[in-house]
């Protein structure tokens, strides 16, 4: 078998590298400007390497009965890890990937092609612009995993953006967001308050050490008009190599406290991560 060779090139919004994993034959790590963005195993698209990606995958597993076809919008593309996961676990699902970096989309398509039959359409566009033009009631799930460098862009954190997502989702739809923060969680609390302006049911998934303020890390937020199966979700996240806690209801309202929803004019990017905060989990 031919040895896998690293690939590196300038893309529209940085310098991207695809590096082969020495332990898995056709697995690759994507970094942009040195920050890990995605991990893909072409032989096993159900393998989710990063902690936060596994948690998003767990939510995707419980939002509908196993194997049911879904219409999924992914805001943020990376190496298309989750679109590959959905295509493998829910064959026939229709998926749209919205990625602002056309050069990155082209690099991934060239070196990490999607499996035959995957119904995934890629769009080189700003996530909010695309949402604003998308048809109402057209998606079952929206996954927001958008980073400019290592930070979530400010214009994707406000009430108008959340309301566009709610408009695009069907009544039983679910919005998922990957958000980084650390104690005292001003950004994360404000995002919970923002989501609460458009959705009745909220869930937070995070590693206990992050919630206790011991380190910077990713939290996954789940929002919808109907509750997800938190019992199944808690069971899946607890079984991970790096277990996570699932917070909802009274405890999550207490965590949010008096945080205020974010207006466009007040929006800021997510906090700058400390050096070495992000790696493969």
Q: Locate tokens 């879904």: which residue? A: 70
- To 5 degrees, how large is the angle CA 51–CA 55–CA 60? 145
Question: What 3 state SS string does 164-211 have?
Answer: HHHHHEEEEEEEEEEEEECCCCHHHHHHHHHHCCCCCEEEEEECHHHH
pLDDT digits (tens, 9 = 90+) for 129-164: 999 999 999 999 999 999 987 899 999 999 999 999
Cα separation of 232 and 9, whole Å? 42
DSSP result, 35-103:
EEEEEEETT-TT---SHHHHHHHHHHHHSSSTT---EEEEE--TT-HHHHHHHHHSTT-EEEEEES-HH
Residue 275 has pLDDT above 80, yes or no: no
How would residue 279 be classed by pLDDT, with cut points 50, 70 and 90? very low
Residue 22 has pLDDT above 80, yes or no: yes
pLDDT digits (tens, 9 = 90+) for 98-118: 999 999 999 999 999 999 899
How would residue 281 be classed by pLDDT, with cut points 50, 70 and 90? very low
pLDDT of residue 274: 86
CA nearest 193: which of 182, 183, 204?
Answer: 204
How would residue 210 be classed by pLDDT, with cut points 50, 70 and 90? very high
Read off the pLDDT of each residue in 232-239 and give the average, rounded to a whole number. Answer: 96
How would residue 230 be classed by pLDDT, with cut points 50, 70 and 90? very high
Q: What is the mean pLDDT of the chain?
A: 94
* 201-206 vs 245-248, strand pairing mode: antiparallel
pLDDT digits (tens, 9 = 90+) for 35-54: 899 999 999 999 999 999 99
pLDDT of residue 226: 93
Cα separation of 190 and 172, whole Å? 24
Cα separation of 126 and 244, whole Å? 31
If you ran DSSP here, which 8-state letter would residue 222 be given? E
pLDDT of residue 237: 96
């Amino acid at each position: 078998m031919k040895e896998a060779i690293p690939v590196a090139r300038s893309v529209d919004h940085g310098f991207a590298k695809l590096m082969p994993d020495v332990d898995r034959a056709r697995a690759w790590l994507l970094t942009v400007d040195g920050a890990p963005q995605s991990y893909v195993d072409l032989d096993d698209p159900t393998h989710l390497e990063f902690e936060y990606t596994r948690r998003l995958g767990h939510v995707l597993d419980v939002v509908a009965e196993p194997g049911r076809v879904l219409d999924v919008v992914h805001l943020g593309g990376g190496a298309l890890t989750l679109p590959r996961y959905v295509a493998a676990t829910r064959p026939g699902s229709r998926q749209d990937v919205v990625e602002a970096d056309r050069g990155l989309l082209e690099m991934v398509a060239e070196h990490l092609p999607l499996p035959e039959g995957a119904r995934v359409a890629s769009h080189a566009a700003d996530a909010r612009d695309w949402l604003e033009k998308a048809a109402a009631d057209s998606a079952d799930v929206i996954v927001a995993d958008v980073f400019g460098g290592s930070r979530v862009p400010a214009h994707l954190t406000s009430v108008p953006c959340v309301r566009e997502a709610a408009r695009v989702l069907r009544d039983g739809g679910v919005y998922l967001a990957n958000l980084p923060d650390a104690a005292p969680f001003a950004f994360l609390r404000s995002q919970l308050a923002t989501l609460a302006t458009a959705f009745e049911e909220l869930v937070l998934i995070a590693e206990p050490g992050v919630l206790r303020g011991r380190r910077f890390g990713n939290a996954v937020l789940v929002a919808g008009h109907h509750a997800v199966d938190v019992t199944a979700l808690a069971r899946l996240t607890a079984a991970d190599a790096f277990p996570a806690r699932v917070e909802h209801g009274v405890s999550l309202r207490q965590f949010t406290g008096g945080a205020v929803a974010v207006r466009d004019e007040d929006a800021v990017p997510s906090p700058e991560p400390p050096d070495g905060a992000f790696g493969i989990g």
